[in-house]
Chains A and B, each alone.
Chain A
């Protein structure tokens, strides 16, 4: 399967990790990309790699009310839109006995509310033209509720379900849910075994390839199999497994 060719794309959460790699790879295949995130300095440096093709925009996705107008500005700048990648996400460290509403709210706001704010705009537009691709970076973490990261898990489950619903609602639009396993990035840098995680560039390449087909996609066959099993373990048993 080869990557679909997009002329114009938006990447929300583009300043580091998977998002930055997506921008880089899209631009190197000729796509005009709007790269969004809070850290403008990072976006500008990234933009220098393909000054003609990469357009940085400073944006905090929790600035929800600004999104409809910004979406119009960005699509005007790009001259149209074929695909949007919602990559922005946070996963603060949470101790196993910690219940910190501030951290939880941040995850809900960035991973979910921001996604809805951006992807609703894209959905309206793509529904109108009967074409387009929506890609959301969810996570294997959304497949089960686990002891370590209650709200992160729940936030990714929300995103997965929201994207499934969009897929069922929009005709002619490709809606892609990506569920990566561990990937090397700033988000995971503190985790044990980080060096063995999938490099972000590899993840981005796989994501682009899988963006041609509507549906939920894991990045590794092994994950697909493992999570098929994990998803189907009844909750009382899952709890005892202590995974």
Chain B
């Protein structure tokens, strides 16, 4: 085996701001992975694990290195519709998972805003959904996993093993997740009872979140960052308690092929025209105006509610020169003071987030974690080459504010964190512990990513 020049491909983060050219390998079987360790040694390269490349920044890219793309490992190895326990290869996506299990009354316990992520990638980042405050993160539903380390050995790790909590969220640095056994969530209907309403201030939004959190399964807010008061539209949802098998057919869940008469595959081309500051402000205003003042409840399919962003394929191309996603996690005591401050910093800097999504969270036991008892706001900032450096400097200012109040960050969404930032929120002891595991399981440092080096995780 050798590094072939015609295997070089450009791989990028979802935000299309960061990219790298690397030697891409796409094994069709797990057995094809181990020889790559020897190839890396012989060629003095490192290996960057990659799932579907849905992380926004540089989590699954590394220039001139071996890019080990695990997307073709898509076998479902075991599925028990009685217990809802499923065992899969790491390239299986959230889409494959729900399509396989829904008809028998099971839904993934945690899903991100897109169904096109692999389980390997989702666990390496420990993804959360709009139900995090209630259901925890995806890693908390894993019963066991197989880890292939650079010595060529595979070990099965269960949740009791100490290593488990460092592999989940471990950013693909301790080994390759080659098998995952996951507990699915039981449902009786493929629909949710969704409630929508609008709030006019940060105080009202956060108070509403806290009031309903104990009663709802899903909770999410959309915040208009161009509005000085903090206008928001909240959606919360509960699994429908009725038995409704028809809604659990895959066909009942399909996203519409057309939206307002446009073929959705082409919609981003049209949306491109409104992806500019003036239009976004106008559209934000319209969106808020149209939202119901009093809570309004309706039924929606699980897919339609969960994967809103998949309605418009390639929507990221609306940002002509890419965008940065920046998700801040704030302790609940600080949120009411700091969110409006961040919004104010945006208005006075001129950089404002075109999209901002609010979620509620709780702590978790993982080593490299973003989780805390509080809220997160995920923001999309358009990037223009001329002002990119200034935008990054601005986000560093926001980072300092977030860290000063005990906040955290999420590597899957990150492009700007510096080593001192993750040191600040993880603590040196945690980093030392992680690096200790790294030198034990990957002493030659064969598994690397651009992100891991940038933030000083390795």
Contacts and interface: CB of A to CB of B under 8 A. Distances in A.
Interface of A: 68, 71-72, 75-76, 79-81, 121, 124-125, 127-131
A124 B63 CA distance: 17
26 contacts: A68-B5, A71-B5, A72-B3, A75-B64, A76-B45, A76-B64, A79-B63, A79-B64, A80-B20, A80-B21, A80-B64, A124-B5, A124-B6, A124-B8, A125-B5, A125-B8, A125-B21, A128-B5, A128-B8, A128-B9, A128-B10, A129-B8, A129-B10, A129-B21, A130-B10, A131-B10
Nearest to A68: B5
A121 to B, nearest CB: 6
Contacts of B43: 72
A128 B6 CA distance: 6
Interface in B65-84: none
A128 B7 contact: yes
B56 to A, nearest CB: 20
Q: Nearest 4 A-B pairs (CB), nearest first?
A: A129-B10, A124-B5, A128-B8, A76-B64
A68 B43 CA distance: 13
A219 B21 CA distance: 32
Given A125-B8, A125-B21, A131-B10, 13 more contacts: A68-B5, A71-B5, A72-B43, A75-B64, A76-B64, A79-B64, A121-B5, A124-B5, A128-B6, A128-B7, A128-B9, A129-B9, A129-B21
Nearest to B10: A129
A222 B21 CA distance: 40
Among B5, B10, B45, B64, the most chain A Cβ lie within 10 Å of the Cβ of B5
Interface of B: 3, 5-10, 20-21, 43, 45, 63-64
A147 to B, nearest CB: 41
Contacts of A128: 5-10, 21
A211 B297 CA distance: 60
Nearest to A122: B5
A124 B4 CA distance: 9
Given A125-B21, A129-B10, A129-B21, A80 B63 contact: yes
A124 B20 CA distance: 16
Nearest to A76: B64
A36 to B, nearest CB: 17
Given A80-B20, A80-B21, A81-B21, A127 B6 contact: yes
Nearest to B450: A79
A76 to B, nearest CB: 5
Contacts of A121: 5
B9 to A, nearest CB: 5
Interface centre among B8, B9, B43 (most CB of A within 10 A): B8
A68 B3 CA distance: 10
Contacts of B64: 75-76, 79-80
A232 B275 CA distance: 52
A68 B64 CA distance: 14
Nearest to B3: A72
Nearest to B24: A128
B22 to A, nearest CB: 9
A131 B21 CA distance: 10
A129 B7 CA distance: 9
B17 to A, nearest CB: 14
A21 B63 CA distance: 28
Contacts of A127: 6
Contacts of A125: 5-6, 8, 21
Nearest to A5: B385
Residue among B9, B21, B45, B64 having the largest count of chain A Cβ atoms under 10 Å: B21
A121 B5 CA distance: 7
A71 B6 CA distance: 13
Contacts of A80: 20-21, 63-64
A2 to B, nearest CB: 14
A127 B8 CA distance: 9
B303 to A, nearest CB: 33
Contacts of B20: 80
A110 to B, nearest CB: 22
A128 B8 CA distance: 6
A124 B23 CA distance: 12
Contacts of A124: 5-6, 8
A75 B43 CA distance: 13
A72 B22 CA distance: 11
Nearest to B11: A129
A128 B11 CA distance: 11
A176 B7 CA distance: 24
A76 B9 CA distance: 14
A59 B5 CA distance: 20
A71 B8 CA distance: 13
Nearest to A79: B63
Contacts of A76: 45, 64
A71 B20 CA distance: 17
Contacts of A130: 10
A131 B10 CA distance: 9
A125 B63 CA distance: 13
B46 to A, nearest CB: 11
Contacts of A129: 8-10, 21
Nearest to A75: B64
B23 to A, nearest CB: 9
Contacts of A75: 64
A81 B8 CA distance: 11
Nearest to A72: B3
Contacts of A81: 21
